[in-house]
């Protein structure tokens, strides 16, 4: 019976696998878990309502969406594209490497610089696409999708592997407290942050290498088409 309460996890997995709405999937998983646990519908709604109220600051990111939408409407993407086209020698890989380096440095100091809706969609991806077009002409939809994926990856790598360098980061504090509770000696946030520095540096170097190889792949495929 206790294992049956984990059915919510199965609902989440199925929902994501079938590409259903994320919020709806999570809510359905919570309702199903509550029913299996013997809660009444009113108790489930009470838990959901209290959780939303206590964690409502987590939805503040929604405010960025209309701001970015207005900026795009009045030419943010076009200005980003024009800026890159005016830089001689700019390539898709170089742009992504620079952004990942900046993103990692910002995350290491807990500066909230970056994000998919705030930077990748309106700025970094258009600039990366523009660099490819400037060097090789029009690109195919498949190549454009690959550039989108590489742009998103630069955000994920830069943020994920460098955020624990900051001692006060939630991930750093969680690791330190969990290891201390499990009896792994006197692990402090400073210890975790210090050991996260080489991880962050390696991730940036690997990102630069990956983007360099991505540039070479674009040149090998699109360069030949342009010459022909």
Residue 52: pLDDT band (50, 70, 90) is: low
pTM > 0.85: no
| Cβ(204)–Cβ(100) below 8 Å | yes
Which residues are CB-neighbours of 200 under 8 A, at least 6 positions away?
A: 104, 107, 108, 161, 162, 165
Average pLDDT over every residue of 115-135: 88
* Residues 175-193 pLDDT 10s: 888 888 877 778 888 999 9
What confidence score (pLDDT) does residue 124 get? Answer: 92
What confidence score (pLDDT) does residue 9 get? Answer: 86
The first and second tokens of residue 215, run together, are 């540039």
Report the distance separating Cα 70 and Cα 119, nearest Å. 14
* Residues 25-50 pLDDT 10s: 888 888 888 888 888 888 888 887 77
Does pLDDT of 3 surpass 80? Answer: no
Output the CA–CA distances (angstroms, integers) from residue 175 to 67, 79, 88, 151, 190, in the order listed.
35, 42, 45, 29, 11
What confidence score (pLDDT) does residue 70 get? Answer: 81
């Amino acid at each position: 019976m206790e294992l049956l309460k984990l059915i919510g996890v199965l609902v989440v997995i199925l929902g994501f696998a079938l590409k259903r709405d994320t919020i709806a999937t999570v809510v359905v998983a919570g309702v199903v878990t509550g029913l299996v646990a013997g809660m009444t519908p009113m108790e489930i709604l009470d838990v959901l309502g209290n959780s939303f109220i206590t964690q409502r600051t987590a939805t503040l990111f929604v405010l960025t969406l209309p701001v970015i939408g207005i900026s795009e409407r009045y030419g943010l993407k076009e200005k980003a594209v024009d800026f890159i086209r005016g830089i001689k020698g700019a390539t898709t890989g170089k742009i992504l490497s620079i952004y990942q380096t900046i993103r990692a440095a910002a995350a290491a100091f807990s500066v909230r610089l970056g994000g998919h809706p705030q930077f990748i969609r309106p700025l970094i991806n258009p600039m990366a696409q523009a660099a490819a077009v400037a060097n090789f002409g029009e690109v195919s939809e498949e190549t454009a999708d690959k550039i989108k994926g590489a742009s998103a990856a630069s955000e994920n790598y830069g943020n994920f592997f460098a955020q624990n360098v900051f001692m006060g980061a939630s991930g750093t504090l969680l690791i330190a407290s969990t290891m201390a509770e499990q009896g792994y000696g006197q692990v402090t946030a400073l210890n975790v942050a210090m050991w996260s520095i080489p991880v962050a540096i390696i991730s940036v170097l690997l990102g630069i290498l990956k983007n360099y190889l991505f540039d070479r792949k674009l040149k090998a495929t699109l360069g030949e088409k342009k010459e022909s």
